[in-house]
Amino acid sequence: MEGLTAVIDVWGHPGYQTGLVAGLAGTALVLAIAQILRRRVFGWGLIFAVAVLVALSTQTGVDTDSLISLGVLAATGLVVDGSAVLRWRWRWVSMTAGWGLAALAAAWLGAGLGISEPVWVAWSLPLTIVGFGFGLWTWGRLPEVALVGLLAAISIAGGWVTVPETDLFVGLLGVALPMGLVTLWPLSGRPSAAGSLALAGVFALLVLEGGLPRPWTVLASWATIASIPLMAALISQGMGRPGRVVTLIIHFAYVGLVTRVADYTDSGFVVVIGSAVALVAVGVVVVLLPERPLVVEDSGSL
């Protein structure tokens, strides 16, 4: 009952309503761009990362240093996105350099926060940002790209369940619903590396803002995204192709398990072990499930 009450209460929260309006505005922007250009919108993540920042600016404002750091982080993604126009020989060089720069930018963002205790928060922040960004970007290159928004929205909901006290994270939760639906047909928004990294950075920072007084919840919230890059890597390597509904169920179950672990402990070590076990289970299930027929969506004009 407490969980149901919390879900009902959040719908009336001003921060949630502001985020929802910003998310719907992002959806309208995606639709407008798609109609004008007569093609799929590539900047899905960037549009909704900006929507979150706009929603937050109406509440408490956005820290200038963090905004600059997020901009630098997104700029490193442009190196990855730009590799698409290069010849194959240089494409991998550009992508490798882009993700390496993204890791440095994420580490710089974390260093700027001045977090000294607990130590694992400082080094797990860049890992979370790059892992989440890489996972979203990889899903964007798969035939199952329509799932990327829903997968991200489920992780965001899991993050809120783990650190529900922060008003700022509620704004991201409001954006999550329209953001999750925009990657579905017929809009079929696509994640760029720049947008994926920006969205990952916003997610990681908002979890930190609300959860740092209870650091084990920060780790659990960040861990909710781990199945996204894992499943993307397995599917992209041909090691599994579960149906779309099954994929969503697997991710939902993983996120639920991780958030439950955080509810029953105050130890970061226990959260790490519990998340690792759940992640291994996800990998095993994806590999062992029988593959479903591959259905490629039409990626042409609207």
Higher pLDDT, 138 or 262: 138
What are the b/e assignments for 23-50, b being 16+ CB within 10 Å? bbbbbebbbebbeeeeebbbbbbbbbbb
**Tens digit of each residue's pLDDT (9 = 90 or more) over 263-273:** 888 888 899 99
Short-list 50, 80, 78, CA closest to 62: 50
**Tens digit of each residue's pLDDT (9 = 90 or more) over 68-101:** 889 999 999 999 998 877 777 778 888 899 999 9
pLDDT value of residue 165: 63
Do residues 168 and 210 touch, judged by C-beta distance below 8 A? yes
| Residue 6 banded pLDDT, cuts 50, 70, 90 | low
Residues across the chain: 302
| Residue 1 banded pLDDT, cuts 50, 70, 90 | very low
* pLDDT cut 90: percent of the chain above it: 48
What's the longest Cα–Cα distance across the chain? 57
| Residue 301 banded pLDDT, cuts 50, 70, 90 | very low
**Tens digit of each residue's pLDDT (9 = 90 or more) over 206-252:** 998 877 778 888 899 999 999 999 999 999 888 888 888 999 999 99
Cα 37 from chain centroid (whole Å): 26
pLDDT value of residue 137: 95
Q: What mean pLDDT do residues 15-39 have?
A: 88
pTM score, whole prediction: 0.90
pLDDT value of residue 229: 96
Q: What mean pLDDT do residues 118-127 have?
A: 82
Q: What mean pLDDT do residues 289-302 have?
A: 55
Asked if residue 284 has pLDDT above 90, the reply is yes
pLDDT value of residue 299: 46
pLDDT value of residue 159: 92
Short-list 106, 22, 99, CA closest to 66: 106
Handedness of CA 5, 11, 14, 16 (dihedral sign): positive
pLDDT value of residue 302: 40
Calculate Rg over the CA atoms of the chain.
18
* Residue written as token pair 């740092």: 212
Asked if residue 254 has pLDDT above 60, the reply is yes
pLDDT value of residue 239: 86
Asked if residue 4 has pLDDT above 50, the reply is no
Cβ count near 125 (within 10 Å): 24
pLDDT value of residue 259: 92
